[in-house]
Structure 1
């Protein structure tokens, strides 16, 4: 298995030369995934991919139940994001990376993000806001893919709205609403208000991150 530094370099190569050190959150997230991959090196990457999707979709049920179940929904979201990073770490660090797996992982990422948006709606966010959250999860990666088809090798600098941020915002928003319900703080702000506020903040980060990416890709496409 590759060393951590070799794994990070390989991750950068598969992501258009993006340096994970540009973001502490992304670097820490990848380091955690690599640590788990070393312990679970026997696990096929596709198994982690499939399990991550199932866990993400399973968060919708507790989100619908509301109350203290929202804490469970938040934990499931976080676990699904970790499993998603684990499959990439298993593939890259274990020398099992392939273009087929890369495309499959990207497709599953979009499905899990649809699950996150659905969980936010189930937990109390307005439908239009949850849909906007989901769309802003999809848009940056769509832009990167289209830019790649146009001949841009770089994926742009790391923005404030990368995959770890999307997972964290969803998990903390839903889980935080559950903590509010369990501790009785809902007399100050109900779980629905917490979810709505968190989803709105996520949308704001999505807009900022997409703008950051747009500036970067505009320069690359102008060359």
Structure 2
């Protein structure tokens, strides 16, 4: 079983690198396949390594909704983007539940997560203005709610006391912040999600969170 888990981890990493290459070279059709497959690989890895612990189940739920969000955001319409935001909203709630299931050790350094969340929230005014330009008040409200749940995920991730989870949650939020800044700059159209920096931080963040939860079990 361990050798199979290692093989799945290697294949998932190879798929992520392939996806980044597709983004870099503009091969969007392949990107639309390789991006959600990374989430599939991480889910398989959790299933192979864990033994049915509640935190592992919540982690699978989070990754599953991340995969659905990836699929929803294929294309460039505001409706698909908003659908993806809703799916990732549920995914972040599941991440938060996984962290709570692990238990919050709250070492002294982990309280810095609150300060990190505040710093990353600084651009939100610009992001919400861009969201309102793209989809009106409903879009701005949806992103405001999303920002609250991802900030909660970040803080709880830090409070677990796992450096892997803390760094992963931070990188994941950085990925979403890059999307938000893109939206702030191009508010009259959906943000450009096929961006190398966004994709690398997106995959690395979730991979580190997954590793942190599995190591903590």
* TM bucket normalised to smaller: 0.3 to 0.5
Larger RCO (CA under 8 A, 6+ residues apart): 1
Larger Rg: 1
- TM-score w.r.t. length of structure 1: 0.36
Q: Which has the higher helix share?
A: 2
